[in-house]
Structure 1
Amino acid sequence: MEIRLDREKGRPLVEKIINGHGASVDDLYLRRQALQFSLHPGFDTLLSLTAVRDMTPFDYQIRTVRHVLANLRGRALLCDEVGMGKTVEAGLIALEYMLRGLARRVLILAPPSLVSQWREEMQVKFNLDFITYDDPAFKAHHEPWTFFPRIIASIDTAKRESHRLQIGAAAFDLVICDEAHHLKNRRTQAYQLVSQLQKKYILLLTATPVENDLEELFNLITLLLPGQLETAAAFKKKYITRGDALKPKNTEELKALVREVMVRNRRSETGVILSRRYAETIRLQLSPEEMAFYRRLTHFVRGFFIDGQDKPQGGASLLTLKVLQREIGSSIEAVLPTLTKMAEQPSYAPEMRRLFAALLEQAKKVPHRAKADALVQLLRGLNDKVIVFTGFSETHRYLVRRLTEAGFAVAQLHGGMKRLEKEEQVRYFADVAQVLLSTETGSEGRNLQFCRCLVNYDLPWNPMQIEQRIGRIHRIGQERDVYIYNLSAQDTLEAHMLELLDAKINMFQLVVGELDMILGNLKENQGFEDMVLNAWLQSADEREMEAQMDKVGDQLLEAKNHYLAVKAIDERLLGELVPDE
């Protein structure tokens, strides 16, 4: 075989000298592909299992991946119960196709809140670098959807007219849609977008494919295999009981069709999450000086919100004021650098700088740290290894010093550390230290399941961040019960937030993954943290604040009840439609 260059036409001319017969470039490419496939093992042997990092997939996940690859031909509805690791299954399938040369261009569509989580998991567990739709490099490119080979995007962004045409012109080897129940209505722009994408393989991930009507299941399956369930009218006539949109008929025939595209793993069958969560709230009183400062700062911040100003007089932004309110919920130490910066900010009006300077001086004079005292007392009573979480680097530094002075061996994780430094600290915690002080960014991707006790020194305003903290130790593979301790200073925003999450939806008793499903059902356009913050800051007095908080709590409870109703429907229907193997 020799390759000659046709200089007149400017392209390679490939000839195969066998018995005087020539072979085209397409023939050569097909022969090369056939040779590659002959060298690769079948799907019974997964190449991806040797390429993953810091992760050992469970048997049911491996079975799912093999089944999707070998039998469902890469088009599947992954309906594992919440918390069972659908992301791991999708990542393994994507990696397997890439390693075998069957996929290069991959598009992951997810809710905005999960985009960064997908990027982290793909990088940490599968060593796959994706670019996100909000990355500056993505935004700067004139044709990003066709240029970048691996993209993670919000489906809300992707369906916009400014993006839809370019996405439609791009060809993808694999499309993954997370929280695919949002695609249940075929009349929506999101459904039409996914339906029209050029794609070879597609995975739809959802724990609740049916909410109101069996036609929602029809719509999702039609995205995977158009015609699998015939037309919408034929499906309704043949498989839905008249007068009851949630009651199937001709069930055995429908089962057989659904099983050709759906995989459903149940927690009760796999037994991979057997441990339970136990949560305790450690209620404490701030010292008089701490409470006086907390109230003064809150009054200072609340004044601008009650006035409804978009830009407070004097130059300070509302974002800055929100940061102050978050920081004081953690510690005096967290708020000091911000106050110092604000007091010296030349763009602020003199009266604003003086207000910040006065707050700074008052903060410096606060002599006691009641929450730190409570932490030391708690740790001395726990005969076990403990992870202490804080969301602020200054609080982290203070606690390292305070706990070391109290005689504890302390390991630490924070975002400023390099990967090898983090691994060294995790080993130190596993072998020697009783306490690991960590920030959210510090613990990302760390396997900390050898520990079962966690302290929330401060509470993030986003409940999913609380869930992610707990998820570092209460996850698939944890064999021991997990104990969570929440430090709660009375009469603070964080105390009210904790009360809502615990009393209204029993957050700390939820199964892994359920909180995300509940928060996704909130009817407000704003997220939970903004709902709570507005209730706190826009209330003129304690009575009004209590009333506003009750409204937020009622919405939380309504969202939870909606989730439980949908869950019950799915368990009944999928139990009928997808029998045990």
Structure 2
Amino acid sequence: MEVRFDRASGEGLVQQIMQGQGTCADDLYLRRQALLFSLHPGFDTLLSLTATRNMEPFEYQLRTVRHVLANLRGRVLLCDEVGMGKTVEAGLIALEYILRGLARRVLILAPPSLVSQWREEMQVKFNLDFITYDDPEFKAHDDPWRSYPRIIASIDTAKREAHRHQIGATAFDLVICDEAHHLKNRRTQSYQLVSKLQKKYILLLTATPVENDLEELFNLITLLLPGQLETAAAFKKKYITRGDALKPKNTEELKALVREVMVRNRRSETGVILSRRYAETIRLQLSPEEMAFYRRLTHFVRGYFTGGVDKPMGGASLLTLKVLQREIGSSIEAVLPTLEKMMEQPSYAPEMRRLFAALREQANAVPHRAKADALVKLLQGLNDKVIIFTGYSETHRYLVRRLTEEGFSVAQLHGGMKRLEKEEQVRRFAQDAQVLLSTETGSEGRNLQFCRYLVNYDLPWNPMQIEQRIGRIHRVGQERDVYIYNLSAQATLEAHILELLDAKINMFQLVVGELDMILGNLKENQGFEDMVLQAWLQSLDDQDMETQMGKVGDQLLEAKNHYLAIKAIDERLLGELMPDE
């Protein structure tokens, strides 16, 4: 802590006290500073616990935070096993520094897919507002990196030439790097960016710090404390067995050095997340009218992408067509408003608007909803509280009406509700209602762990959204086993996505957090959902579609096996290098 003597302020008061007490000015300022210090407890008392909300940290997380603050000087490699709550630990450390006046400017670097999740967690759990790099206000600013005190950014964006010079010229009090294993190569732009950042404290979060070589561990630790493991050449000579880059030597000495910068909590030692998750796919057939409409709409979208449909001036955008394909995977109710907007859009060619009008007429003529019928049957057999997720507001409204008509007591959450309205609906669900109908945005930050049954009425194309839904009830602190039901209409894109995720990587049996690790290993830059959509839309027929989906599945399986291999290496190495407490 820095002690400063400000003789300019209160000079007259100082002189009066000195004359009355016969003491010197330095004595007076020291006494004043000692009094101020006495009002701020040491790191054994965490100020952050009075400021958090919607969370109850576990003892191992609090022990980690105290250790980082008191002993590791805010520079640490947090290597808890997947799903153990490294984000909670990082948030508590950040909040502790902020409350104590030790940090004002905070930069969080994360993969693009996790930026919004970080922002939500920081706001909901720690009451800390961050601006993200893709916020219009941030993008419009001339010098945003120096102007905003708390920023969350994609490291891919931060390392671009347009940004990295501004970032490098900015001093940050605390830098947090999520998925830090992506920094293991010191020759990459990402590593160089983080290495050159002006930072007082730095937290690196990863469950798998080593993949191919112990030098990767050296690189990460050097980001935290340059010189901690000497030079790269000295480290290799002293601590790596010749001929085996994954076998350490002089282990006891290396342990001591690693312990000064690393924390590793294991699931087996903490006893958290003991509950399991069980998933069941309820396969159903759409009614003939529903399937006819689904095939007609999909044929149009696929033809537009592959060139089988003429594209007159003023035709539909590719983004709009993707939206149509996503919506029809949820319900006819979801797709109808989009069709109506498109048929009334004057910028579209007349023949295009007539086509959309015909599609709307066909949709309105569909008499039954097979998926909703299957949902009602499922709920009638479950004598417990159930959360039903849908990604679309129109589907949400339809299901509220349908389930209410069927006699179910229904609470609801959606993005258009205010905070107090959401809290009231959660209380209603906890007390009286059997069913909670929720959208993704509606459930953000809600504690729903008193429920253990979840239904995916529709299936997001992004697997992380599925994981986030499940994470609302299957997370640290859930004491009961969780049951997940996926409604799957045969011969639809969503059915193929579910098959890939379930059959290839057993997604619903993964430990919390493992899915993101697997998806991060996909070799395609476009990501899983774009890979699936491309395979679906570019297939010439059903047989070709099976072949294309099979290729995506093979890549998914390869990514999972790669993750499991890395996990095994890290468990062995960290087991050797992290001494018993």
Q: Does the pair score TM above 0.5?
A: yes
What displacement does 1:36 show? 3.5
Match of 2:523 in 1: 523
SS at the partner of 1:174? strand
SS at the partner of 1:77? strand
What displacement does 1:38 show? 3.0
Q: Does 1:63 align with 2:63?
A: yes
What displacement does 1:454 show? 0.2
Quick check: 1:273–1:477 contact (8 Å CA) kept in 2? Answer: yes
Match of 2:450 in 1: 450
| TM-score after normalising by structure 1 | 0.95
What displacement does 1:312 show? 6.4
Match of 1:552 in 2: 552
Match of 2:350 in 1: 350
SS at the partner of 2:454? strand
Whole-angstrom CA distance in 1 between matches of 2:6 and 2:375: 75
Match of 1:540 in 2: 540
What displacement does 1:509 show? 0.3
Match of 1:414 in 2: 414
SS at the partner of 2:283? strand
What displacement does 1:39 show? 1.7
Given the superposition, is the C-alpha separation of residues 448 and 579 from structure 1 closer, same or farther in structure 2, using an over 3 Å criterion? same
Given the superposition, is the C-alpha separation of residues 400 and 29 from structure 1 closer, same or farther in structure 2, using an over 3 Å criterion? farther
Quick check: 1:282–1:488 contact (8 Å CA) kept in 2? Answer: yes
Pairing of 1:34-113 with structure 2 (within 5 A): 35-113=35-113
What displacement does 1:22 show? 10
Pairing of 1:453-472 with structure 2 (within 5 A): 453-472=453-472
Match of 2:173 in 1: 173
Given the superposition, is the C-alpha separation of residues 277 and 335 from structure 1 closer, same or farther in structure 2, using an over 3 Å criterion? same
Query: Which segment drifts farther, 516-525 or 310-319?
Result: 310-319
What displacement does 1:35 show? 4.8
Whole-angstrom CA distance in 2 between matches of 1:458 and 1:52: 33
Work out the number of aligned pairs and report it: 573
Q: Does 1:434 align with 2:434?
A: yes
Quick check: 1:314–1:351 contact (8 Å CA) kept in 2? Answer: no
Unaligned runs of 5+ in 1: 6-11
In the alignment, residue 297 of structure 2 is paired with which amino acid?
A: L
Whole-angstrom CA distance in 2 between matches of 1:419 and 1:114: 23
SS at the partner of 2:367? coil
Pairing of 1:354-369 with structure 2 (within 5 A): 354-369=354-369
Match of 2:495 in 1: 495
Q: Summarize deviations over 1:301-350 as a string: whole Å, max 9, x none.
A: 01111119997654210111110000000001001100111111111110
Q: Summarize deviations over 1:57-83 as a string: whole Å, max 9, x none.
A: 000000000000000010000000011
Quick check: 2:329–2:458 contact (8 Å CA) kept in 1? Answer: yes
Quick check: 2:51–2:126 contact (8 Å CA) kept in 1? Answer: yes
Whole-angstrom CA distance in 2 between matches of 1:151 and 1:32: 35
SS at the partner of 2:167? helix
Quick check: 2:303–2:309 contact (8 Å CA) kept in 1? Answer: no
SS at the partner of 1:294? helix
SS at the partner of 2:65? helix
Pairing of 1:221-300 with structure 2 (within 5 A): 221-300=221-300
What displacement does 1:37 show? 2.9
Quick check: 1:132–1:151 contact (8 Å CA) kept in 2? Answer: yes
Quick check: 2:75–2:201 contact (8 Å CA) kept in 1? Answer: yes
Quick check: 1:3–1:14 contact (8 Å CA) kept in 2? Answer: no
Q: Does 1:321 align with 2:314?
A: no
Match of 1:9 in 2: none
Q: Summarize deviations over 1:266-318 as a string: whole Å, max 9, x none.
A: 11110111000100000000000000000000001011111199976542101
Q: Summarize deviations over 1:449-475 as a string: whole Å, max 9, x none.
A: 000000000000000000000000000
Quick check: 2:312–2:349 contact (8 Å CA) kept in 1? Answer: no
What displacement does 1:399 show? 0.2
Match of 1:196 in 2: 196
SS at the partner of 1:531? helix
Q: Summarize deviations over 1:225-265 as a string: whole Å, max 9, x none.
A: 11110110000000000000000001011001000000000
| TM-score after normalising by structure 2 | 0.95
Match of 2:391 in 1: 391
Query: Which segment drifts farther, 205-214 or 306-315?
Result: 306-315
Q: Summarize deviations over 1:20-63 as a string: whole Å, max 9, x none.
A: 99989xx9999876653332001110000111011110000000
SS at the partner of 1:123? helix
SS at the partner of 1:494? helix
Q: Summarize deviations over 1:534-579 as a string: whole Å, max 9, x none.
A: 1001111111111000000000000000000000000000000002
What displacement does 1:2 show? 10
In the alignment, residue 91 of structure 2 is paired with which amino acid?
A: G
Pairing of 1:119-134 with structure 2 (within 5 A): 119-134=119-134
Quick check: 2:300–2:309 contact (8 Å CA) kept in 1? Answer: no
Quick check: 1:312–1:318 contact (8 Å CA) kept in 2? Answer: no
Quick check: 1:310–1:318 contact (8 Å CA) kept in 2? Answer: no
Whole-angstrom CA distance in 2 between matches of 1:547 and 1:527: 19
What displacement does 1:135 show? 1.1
SS at the partner of 1:152? strand
Pairing of 1:145-224 with structure 2 (within 5 A): 145-224=145-224
Given the superposition, is the C-alpha separation of residues 330 and 14 from structure 1 closer, same or farther in structure 2, using an over 3 Å criterion? farther
Whole-angstrom CA distance in 1 between matches of 2:206 and 2:35: 37
Whole-angstrom CA distance in 2 between matches of 1:257 and 1:96: 26
Given the superposition, is the C-alpha separation of residues 33 and 165 from structure 1 closer, same or farther in structure 2, using an over 3 Å criterion? farther
